[in-house]
Amino acid sequence: MRPLASGAYRVIPGRYYGTPKEVFGFRTPAGRGTPERIARAFLAANAALFGIAGQIRSLELRRVVESLGAHHVIFSQVHAGKLIHRAYLTVHIARDRRVYLAKNRAVPKSRLPDARPPRRSAAQAINGALRAIRASRRTARAIGRPILVWYPKGANLALAYKVRLRRERPREEWIVYMHAGTGSLLSRYDNLSSVRGRARVFDPNPVAALGGHDQLLTPEGRAVRRPPARAYREIVLSDLDGSGYLDGKRVTTNLTARRAYSPTHSFLFEAHQAGFDEANVYFHIDRSIRRLEAMGYRGARAIFLAPLEVDAHGSRDDNSWYSPGARQLSFGTGGVDDAEDGETILHEFGHALQDAIVPDFGQSEQAAAMGEGFGDYWAASSFHDQKPARYRTSVFCWDSIEDDAHDPPCLRRVDEDLSFEAFEPDGDEHDNGRIWSAALWDVRKAIGAERADRIIVESHFQLDGFTTFARGARAILDANRHLYRGRDQAALRAVFHARGIGPLT
């Protein structure tokens, strides 16, 4: 493969090394061989551009992801037998075997430090990490053993321990990096994806089933605890493993305490009875994964490689979350049980979906907002046809039925008049996420639900955990090009232009 010709591509420059962080706007001639072979040939031909001359062998293949419209080859950089945190290269190859995008966070050879043994032990790293989050071994615990990695500090690398910690009260899951030489704190962040949700129910909830919320409030303005019988839908639970528990091919409620059990696999509960939340969450997640499979994400292209683990009663708080480290969903029971509301379930499932495609998605402000916005979009789009017109752009309608700040009652909407100018640095990711969900909803209106859902999911395969709105928009354009030969590309560009999201070249 030949090097890219000067002026035939566009570059987003890196911050520290003088090498490009992203190269796009090109199409190479068709390559030969496997996607990995094509990717390595492309990187070898452009090693000087990416600053990796002489380092091709230090690139360890992490994964080849096959999406519907492209192959996405992911390499991690290894130095002296240890992974360099965030030092990766990804090469994106269309179905016609032409490379069209590459991302680069590799460290040039001149900036690699000499190999050295750690001066601190793994146990000392755990103790330091606990102190960093103001916890003790009584209130938090390590998940697995600390791992030695190279951690970037500006343009330099430090040998560090990566420590994962879980604390139950308050519910947190931390990733902490401790310097293996000095024992100092390098980085810490809470890795839980969460929503301050309230409810999960039925298909998707009693508000939709009854055509509105008026019948579901007491005279005091509280949610009724026993919705009428017509709020329920009797459905078939598929692919149970026959154990008598809610364990199946796509989802399991195995984390739930005092699990529902039925030797006849009959889980005909009402919302106030034990077991309803488990059956409800199993049904909605199972159906959502089936929906992905119907799009084409099955077999070798499957996104979820194991049943998604769920705790239907993970907390007594009015809060639900997805844990990227454990790859588990947990739902709160404060207020209306979160596992009663299909919209809350699918919002949290949206985090799991993103993490399954892009591990640890949401590590920058914009990426975190995109995670919340996508979760809202996925819930709204999934249930659009089952809801009265007045409620179609509202999410968490049962969860937030007692809220009088919106008309109709809801937690958020996906059709607000917001542009990127409204993005608040250091702001709440749920508030900033409304910009992204509104843009995605515009995409849906512009090209139709089926195509929109498909290209929006597909676009994630070329994103990373630190992505931006502009890169997300460009990924949607690329996905549309690969899946639909760029049909309605101008309409999509107009959507992002109107929302102030760009550049899109």
**Residue 201 has what pLDDT?**
53
**Are residues 30 and 55 both part of a single domain?**
yes
Q: DSSP 3-state assignment of 328?
A: strand
Q: Which CATH number do you get for residue 75? A: 3.30.310
Q: Quick one: 366 and 481 in the same domain?
A: yes
Residues 145 and 222 in one domain: no
- Supply the pLDDT for residue 196: 60
CB 338 within 8 A of CB 199: yes
Q: Is the pLDDT of residue 193 over 80?
A: no
Residues 436, 328 share a domain: yes
- Range of the structural domain that residue 138 is part of: 122-190
CB 226 within 8 A of CB 272: yes
d(CA 381, CA 377): 6
State whether 320 and 409 are in the same domain.
yes
Query: At residue 444, what is the residue type?
Result: R
Q: Where among 109, 133, 164 does a domain terminate? A: 109
User: What CATH number does the domain containing 334 carry?
Assistant: 1.10.390.10
- 36 and 157 together in one domain: no
Residue 215 has pLDDT above 50, yes or no: yes
382 and 404 within one domain: yes
Helix (H, G, I), strand (E, B) or coil at 300: helix
Q: What is the mean pLDDT of residues 15-36?
A: 95
Collapse the DSSP code of 42 into the 3-class scheme (helix H, G, I; strand E, B; otherwise coil) and give the result: helix
Is the pLDDT at 324 greater than 60? The verdict is: yes
Residue 169 within any structural domain of the chain: yes
Q: Mean pLDDT score of the chain, rounded to an integer?
A: 93
| Per-residue pLDDT, 200 | 44
User: Does residue 102 share a domain with residue 166?
Assistant: no
Over residues 384-437, the pLDDT tens digits come to: 999 999 999 999 999 998 887 888 999 999 999 999 999 999 999 999 999 999
pLDDT in tens, 475-485: 999 999 999 99
Pick the closest to residue 218 from 313, 336, 317, 391 (CA basis).
Answer: 336
Sign (positive or negative) of CA dihedral 293, 298, 301, 304 = positive
Question: What share of the chain in percent tops pLDDT 70?
Answer: 98
Mean pLDDT, range 221-226, rounded to an integer: 87
Q: What is the model's pLDDT at position 243?
A: 87
Specify whether 180 is located in the same domain as 102.
Answer: no
Q: Which residues pair with 88 in a beta bridge?
A: 76
Q: Is residue 366 over pLDDT 80?
A: yes
User: pTM of the predicted model, to two decimals?
Assistant: 0.87
Residue 197 confidence (pLDDT) above 60: no
Taking CB atoms within 8 Å and a gap of at least 24, the contacts of 446-450 are 446/488, 446/491, 446/492, 446/494, 446/495, 447/480, 447/487, 447/488, 447/491, 447/492, 449/381, 449/384
Q: Is residue 504 part of a domain?
A: no
- The DSSP element (H or E) to which 93 belongs, if any, is strand 82-94
Q: Do both 385 and 424 map to the same domain?
A: yes
Domain count, the chain: 3
Any domain includes 259:
no
The predicted-structure confidence for 38-77, as pLDDT tens digits, reads as follows 999 999 999 999 999 988 988 999 999 999 999 999 999 9
Whether residues 45 and 182 fall in one domain? no
Boundary of a domain, candidates 79, 109, 139: 109
Whether 176 and 57 share a structural domain: no
Altogether, the residues listed in the chain come to a count of 505
- Give domain status of residue 380, yes or no: yes
Phi and psi at residue 475, to the nearest 5°: -65, -35
Closest of 500, 485, 382 to residue 436, by C-alpha: 500
In a domain, residue 359? The reply is yes
Of 80, 109, 138, which closes a domain? 109
Q: Is there a domain that residue 303 lies in?
A: no
Domain assignment present for residue 78? The answer is yes
Is the confidence at residue 348, as pLDDT, over 70?
Answer: yes
Q: What is the DSSP string of 225-264?
A: SS--GGG----PPP-B-SSSSSBBSSEE-TTSSS----TT
For residue 306, tell me if it sits in a domain: no
Rounded CA-CA distance 467/475 in Å is: 10
Q: Which residues pair with 23 in a beta bridge?
A: 11, 102
**Span 465-489, mean pLDDT?**
96
Q: Residue 171 has what pLDDT?
A: 76
Q: Supply the pLDDT for residue 422.
A: 97
- Start-end of H helices in 228-384: 276-295, 342-357, 365-382
Percentage of the residues of the chain whose pLDDT score is greater than 90: 80
Task: Read off the pLDDT of each residue in 121-139 and give the average, rounded to a whole number.
Answer: 95
Instruction: Decide if pLDDT at 468 tops 90.
Output: yes
